């Protein structure tokens, strides 16, 4: 992002969940609230980003539902508690869209654009050219590419991913991205 990159309330922020907001459980799923652990700084990042975006939407693949590992009721409970915790610190999540499907052919499963299109149906004012997607996987970046969003990749090992044409920007964390965006607004 250049120094004059400016978002305003007409912009929408799309966030992946696992690996961006909460710690990803390698080879496992977040099955209960007790297993949901916020990444250090992610709540304060969302609180700061709340003031910079008109909408903040979570888009998350959750094949654990389709596989019968977690019920939709349990997933909604985890999401309700996540949103509640974020709200306690002055942040907000406007809506959460999830894809329960296992198949990569499912329209809702990232990198496919189904969740973005659902968000636009829910919030017709969303302009994908004034949207940013933040994720920690290539499927998140392809989701953003398909829809024309700015793509921000979260990776602790920034050097490893610097050559991908599917990634616009790389930051080590959501918190680092929020700091950068706030600083760029000051210039």
Summary count for the chain: helices (H), strands (E): 6, 6
Q: Of residues 8, 16, 104, 107, which has the active-site annotation? A: 16
- The yes-or-no answer on residue 16 being catalytic is yes
Question: Which residues have C-beta within 8 Å of that of residue 97, sequence separation ≥ 6?
Answer: 57, 58, 59, 60, 108, 115, 118, 119
Spacing of C-alpha 3 from chain mean position: 23
Alpha-carbon Rg for the chain, nearest whole angstrom, is: 15
- CA separation (Å) from 149 to 22, 80, 128? 22, 27, 5
**Is 143 in contact with 137 (CB distance < 8 Å)?**
no
Among positive and negative, which fits the CA dihedral 92, 22, 127, 181?
Answer: positive
State how far the Cα of 148 lies from the Cα of 120, in Å rounded to an integer.
13
Question: Which residues have C-beta within 8 Å of that of residue 70, sequence separation ≥ 6?
Answer: 29, 30, 31, 62, 64
State how far the Cα of 103 lies from the Cα of 35, in Å rounded to an integer.
25
Among all residues, which ones are annotated catalytic? 16, 18
């Amino acid at each position: 992002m250049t120094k004059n990159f400016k978002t305003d309330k007409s912009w929408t922020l799309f966030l992946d969940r696992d690996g961006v907001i909460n710690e990803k459980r390698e080879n496992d799923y977040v099955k209960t609230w007790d297993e949901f652990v916020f990444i250090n700084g992610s709540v304060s990042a969302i609180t700061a980003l709340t003031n910079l975006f008109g909408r903040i939407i979570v888009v998350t693949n959750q094949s654990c539902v389709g596989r019968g590992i977690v019920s939709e009721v349990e997933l909604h409970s985890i999401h309700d508690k996540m949103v509640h915790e974020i709200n306690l610190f002055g942040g907000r999540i406007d809506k959460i869209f999830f894809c329960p499907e296992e198949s990569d052919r499912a329209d809702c499963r990232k990198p496919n654009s189904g969740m973005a299109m659902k968000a636009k149906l829910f919030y017709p004012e969303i302009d994908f050219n004034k949207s940013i997607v933040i994720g920690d996987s290539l499927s998140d970046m392809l989701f953003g590419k398909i829809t024309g969003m700015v793509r921000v990749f979260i990776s602790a090992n920034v050097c490893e991913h610097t050559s991908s044409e599917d990634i616009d920007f790389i930051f080590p964390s959501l918190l680092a991205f929020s700091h950068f965006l706030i600083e760029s607004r000051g210039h």
